[in-house]
Chain A
């Protein structure tokens, strides 16, 4: 028989980060699948050589680009928040999370503005598939952004309440991870919907 010293206590696993990583992976798959469906119908309706957008619809590219840049800016901010939260810097973490939440709201606002500018009904009167696919895909992304923004607000309240440091700051790290995943999804969808069209 062996006579070895007792086993050391296992280090505390970062469960929230693991769970968020898995959830983020699922979200990426969701969006990837939805983009696949969009492109499938795009291909069925003549591919990229034909006009896919309804007549008289002009895609507002400036607000779309602004929306994408804002989301990426939010990624920088939320990472700043995570950096500060883990190091116990309440002021920087709170400021960064406030700005992240504002950027999240700005992204949703930009999408709402795009919807208004498009003046395109959800259901095409001439039977085009584009309308429904566009609104469903972009709407799903907005739900993700709204969820990430809500998580940032919850993180803000936790930071204000003093939940900081290597252990309690994990929540903000998880928020950052989910935000980055959402940003990656939004950038991909931006390319598909507003650049490829």
Chain B
């Protein structure tokens, strides 16, 4: 088989042309601040998102320690710190981190010269950052859900709305890229699994987050002018809470499945078995997230057939994707890379989150409205965190041209996974038995600290590697997908030469097998 429909020598020329020296880009801080290059936007999103993850986990740990130790060192701020930790972990941490990876990598994977609407993508980055800064400021000024100062609560709602709109803008940019900028021969069914997972996630975010924006608009107007409908400050969490419960929580970590499939295929140098089933699994896992809308304003989920159905169904596609990836792993002789070694626990965490969620609607267990919800969310977000580390370890060599050391990356990824498990198990224990509140919160705090340290350390490791790591070469992992056909780092325009028409989901493997 060949990579392209061109003559073999022409295909070689294409690959050779794609390996030309990168064209210099505007350097310095100004170059980064004014960039419309998707790779830089993606790296900024991912880097800042990891900072958000580490910070949010510290806040969650502080709140949990306060409960576990029965200490009131947080005073009246306990609820606010806890809420900022949760909201920050989702919308200032996991979602932007994975989104950044998508913005940086997906155009390369599909052979696009740039992301669609690059200025909109840059606007989304800065809009999200300003929104995050304002949200933190609102909490500092005694705002946020549970806050005591009305104007600061208003500011929180505005900031939260801004963050959501910014993330929506990025999702539009990414999904448009996937729909409109694929290279010749690359149908949606031939996109790499990470790109596909972002297609599903982006599309589902586009139909889910606007509903949250609508609720936030109502909350703002009501809180700002009358506080007659939604219960003032205390009502905010109740009405936006559906976005932090299953199965929507699974949506935030869905790209992990794409990272898992791509990294395992590369490590084993094998084509993905039953790719249609993997794509279908990722798609179904995304679609069921919509079922959470059933619980938007009514917590009586145990009597909702649709909710019960999607909750049970959610675990199945995750299991299918994971099983098929592991089948690839068993069938091949995998080389140890940080990408696959860390993404496997990430996938397992997501499966754990989906599986645990099956218990949620069982009426006899009485888990609705308990910390069990937070535990399930933490497991899903931990999957996202671990997946982000795996994805960063795998693609940073391409984006920066420098290798991320395998051993430390695997160690930190596994540490983050362990922390994620603890952060999930703690609240789940409390959900089952309220008498174990102290122990559960202690476990949560330990897990959050562990995961926070792991993410922060990985961030520093990645930064250090990007500055002074060993040269990665253009294809350090013997990759199968198009991003490995260009230089590391890729030049402006991503590919120096013309790409031919791809004929499968693994065009580089086609060429190597030819």
Contact = CB atoms under 8 A, between A and B. Distances in A.
28 contacts: A3-B8, A4-B7, A5-B5, A6-B4, A6-B5, A6-B500, A7-B6, A7-B185, A8-B184, A10-B183, A10-B184, A15-B176, A18-B116, A19-B116, A19-B173, A29-B207, A30-B211, A33-B210, A33-B212, A34-B214, A34-B217, A37-B215, A123-B228, A129-B229, A132-B226, A132-B228, A135-B221, A136-B217
A21 to B, nearest CB: 9
A68 interface: no
Interface in B152-202: 168, 172-173, 175-176, 179-185
Nearest to A32: B211
Contact of A29 (B211, B225, B228): B211
B179 A37 contact: no
B176 A18 contact: yes
A77 B183 CA distance: 36
Contacts of A15: 116-117, 176, 180-181
B225 A122 contact: yes
B32 interface: no
Contact of A22 (B5, B172, B217): B172
Q: Is the interface of A mostly helix, strand, loop or mixed?
A: helix
B207 A14 contact: no
Q: Is the interface of B mostly helix, strand, loop or mixed?
A: helix
Contacts of A4: 5-7
Contact of A122 (B181, B214, B226): B226
Contact of A33 (B116, B120, B211): B211
B10 interface: yes
Q: Pick the most buried of A6, A129, A140: most chain B CB atoms within 10 A of its CB.
A: A6
Contacts of A22: 172, 175-176, 206
Contacts of B10: 6
B24 to A, nearest CB: 27
Contacts, number: 123
Nearest to B11: A1
A107 B493 CA distance: 44
A48 interface: no
Interface of A: 1-10, 13-15, 18-19, 22-23, 25-27, 29-34, 36-37, 40-41, 122-124, 127-129, 131-133, 135-136, 139-140
Contact of B181 (A6, A13, A29, A41): A13
A7 B8 contact: no
A189 B73 CA distance: 49
A41 B228 CA distance: 12
Given A4-B6, A5-B5, A30-B214, A14 B180 contact: yes
A2 B5 contact: yes
Contact of B514 (A1, A36, A132, A133): A1
Contacts of B475: none
A23 B185 CA distance: 27
B213 interface: yes
A32 B210 CA distance: 9
A36 B6 CA distance: 54
A109 to B, nearest CB: 22
A15 B118 CA distance: 12
Contacts of A8: 184
B45 to A, nearest CB: 19
A124 B221 CA distance: 13
B11 to A, nearest CB: 9
Given A13-B179, A15-B117, A29-B210, 11 more contacts: A8-B184, A13-B180, A19-B173, A22-B176, A29-B208, A29-B211, A33-B210, A33-B213, A33-B214, A132-B225, A140-B214
